[in-house]
Amino acid sequence: MRRLLPVLGCGAILLLAGMGTAPAADLGAPPPPQAYVPVAPVFSWNGFYLGGNAGYGWSTGSGTMATTAANDPFSFNGNGFLGGAQAGFNWQWGCIVLGMEADFQGTTGSGPFTDNGLLPLNATLKDPWFGTFRGRLGYASDRVMVYATAGGVYGDLTETGTSGGTAFSTSNTYVTWTAGAGIEAAFWGPLSAKVEYLYVGWPSSLPSIPSVTGFTGNAHTNLVRVGLNYHF
């Protein structure tokens, strides 16, 4: 009997040990840890930005000049390169971006301005600089935004040549309006690149010409620009 008690005790211990390990065996091995994959943050268009741009423009115009002799038709065609700097600020609500932008441009734009009537006119019209101040309304899909833009333009026009055999050189500042559209994409850190088209309307005034008392007509300028912005 004394020999039987140790045997029964060992059997009970083994039975309890088997009961304790059975559920663990039923559960199986723990699953392997999942690898952490960071989620890229969504780009924000909010805030201030500065940048530069370069592009090309072309202009056409025609109408009537009131002269001391008669009302003569005139025509103008010009083109040239442009480049400058811009600054702006954006406010973003979800996918909607509202912004304001101003820029200043130097240009090589010039072309012949001629009288097609009785007044002998041989002149060159130039637009050495201009600036714009515009609103922008955009739709953003993370790092890409398409937008419409519109606002005002101010600039300088110079004209040199001969009118009725008299040499002249004049200049004046002007204001007008502009509207267009563009696409902008953030491509590396705080940098974004854009492509933009602007239509510029008839200037408020033209440089004075001897023997000419006024102008009526229509003219417009097309601008295509590429730009680079740094977002703060």
Would 19 be classed as within a structural domain?
no
Closest CA to 183 of 171, 172, 195, 175: 195
- This prediction has a pTM of 0.80
192 by Cβ neighbours in 10 Å (0-12 / 13-18 / 19+) ranks as buried
User: Is the pLDDT reported for residue 112 higher than 70?
Assistant: yes
pLDDT of residue 38: 63
What pLDDT band is residue 17 in, cutting at 50, 70 and 90? very low
Would 97 be classed as within a structural domain?
yes
State whether residue 21 is helix, strand or coil.
helix
Closest CA to 175 of 136, 214, 133: 133
Bridge partners of residue 129, in order along the sequence = 106, 156
CB 121 within 8 A of CB 74: yes
Closest CA to 125 of 82, 168, 84, 165: 168
Each residue of 176-224: pLDDT tens digit? 999 999 999 999 999 999 999 999 999 998 898 888 888 888 889 999 9
Would 2 be classed as within a structural domain?
no
Q: Which residue has the tokens 């912005």?
A: 229
As a whole number of angstroms, the distance between CA 217 and CA 232 comes to: 44
Would 10 be classed as within a structural domain?
no
Bridge partners of residue 80, in order along the sequence = 57
pLDDT of residue 178: 98
CATH of the domain at 193: 2.40.160.20
As a whole number of angstroms, the distance between CA 164 and CA 100 comes to: 46
Would 26 be classed as within a structural domain?
no
Q: 169: domain range?
A: 47-231
Tally the domains of the chain. Answer: 1
